Amino acid sequence: MIDKMLKELNLPSPLDITGEKITTKEEWENARKLVLNTMLENEYGYIPENPDNVSFEIKEFDERRYCAGKAYLAKVEATAELMGEIFTFPFTYVYPKKGNKHKTIVHINFRNNVPDEYMPTEEIIDNGFGCASFCYKDITSDDGDFTNGLAGIIYKNGERTLHSPGKIAMWAWAAMRVMDFLQTRDEVDKSSITVAGHSRLGKTALLTAAVDTRFSCAHSNCAGCSGDALNRGKINGNETIKHITNVFPYWFCEKYKEFADKDNETPFDQHFMHALIAPRKVHVASAEKDIWAAQPQQFLACVAANEVYNLYGIKGFVFSEEDYLNAGKFLNEGNIGFCYREGTHYFSRDDWHGLMDFLNK
């Protein structure tokens, strides 16, 4: 059933990017930049340049009482120099007091609260993870204003070109700076750093890991259209490229508007993002009542990415026919995980526990 559903979508394959079928991991790694450029040129815009210099200052540090004394809390300020200007933004970093080097999650959040309704910090600590988080609006506003924050540095006159970065690319740039900080920390397991986000910030997490291979995993939570769900095969009630580029054009590059009403004709599809993260890990969370996100297309995007993981001789998305949109089960046995739960569009504790279970496999 699932293979038939996928075949009927007539998806483009990232393995065809050169015009000849890629059949080895070496060929894929040589062609990977072409796939990434396809997604940047057509959808997200090019990520801003890495800073000439970046530094970090811990402004506050709680070593006594945070999480009942089980964790340290640092409030950090990042300062980056790029394009001859200085940009600063705050983030928080919470990590367990005990244990060896710990796995860490970079959470791109809607707020700067710690804990937050989308981030159960103490449960994350109790499971042995550290968590660095920042509020996306501290980077640049979530609207069409390209004169503030990081956008104000990149766009000197506020005008955008066809392939210049949208807001998602700028939020991804900030997540990479948090990664820069984590690289300086002795207590961090550098081989296991995940980037996570919900909805538009789930799209951001996928882009971040696709561009920055230092991230071992991307967690995309209810990201849907232009994130973790295929464009093809949408039905009434699912968000489309036309809708998202009409309402949120500033998330993407200007070129992406050209694909409105062409969801079934794009020369790429969202499983290209999963493929770009291979052979690293991808984890997708989906919700039973989140019709807008197109749950079948979220599931099928995971299946479609298997062809790239197969080149590495490793498991991609492991599932059975009975697993298709079966709420309440973690499908975490491969390097692509899928958590389908009851409920609505939300970053829930179930999603966090599904992710942490996946990362501990």
CATH of the domain at 210: 3.40.50.1820
114/132 Cα distance (integer angstroms): 10
What does each of the 361 residues of the chain score in pLDDT, given as a tens digit?
A: 999 999 999 999 999 999 999 999 999 999 999 999 999 999 999 999 999 999 999 999 999 999 999 999 999 999 999 999 999 999 999 999 987 899 999 999 999 999 999 999 999 999 999 999 999 999 999 999 999 999 999 998 878 999 999 999 999 999 999 999 999 999 999 999 999 999 999 999 999 999 999 999 999 999 999 999 999 999 999 999 999 999 999 999 999 999 999 999 999 999 999 999 999 999 999 999 999 999 999 999 999 999 999 999 999 999 999 999 999 999 999 999 999 999 999 999 999 999 999 999 9
214/234 Cα distance (integer angstroms): 33
CA-wise closest residue to 22 among 338, 310, 217, 228: 310
CA-wise closest residue to 221 among 114, 117, 118: 118
For β-strands 53-62 and 102-109, DSSP reports them as unpaired
Q: Which helix (H) or strand (E) holds 73?
A: strand 71-82
Residue 285: which domain range? 2-359
Q: What is the pLDDT of residue 141?
A: 98
Predicted structure pTM score: 0.98
Phi/psi of residue 341, nearest 5 degrees: -125, 170
How many structural domains compose the chain?
A: 1
Q: What is the pLDDT of residue 222?
A: 98
Q: What is the pLDDT of residue 99?
A: 79
Q: What is the pLDDT of residue 178?
A: 99
In the three-class reduction of DSSP (H, G, I as helix; E, B as strand; rest coil), residue 278 is classed as coil
Q: What is the pLDDT of residue 157?
A: 80
Q: What is the pLDDT of residue 98?
A: 87
144/347 Cα distance (integer angstroms): 25
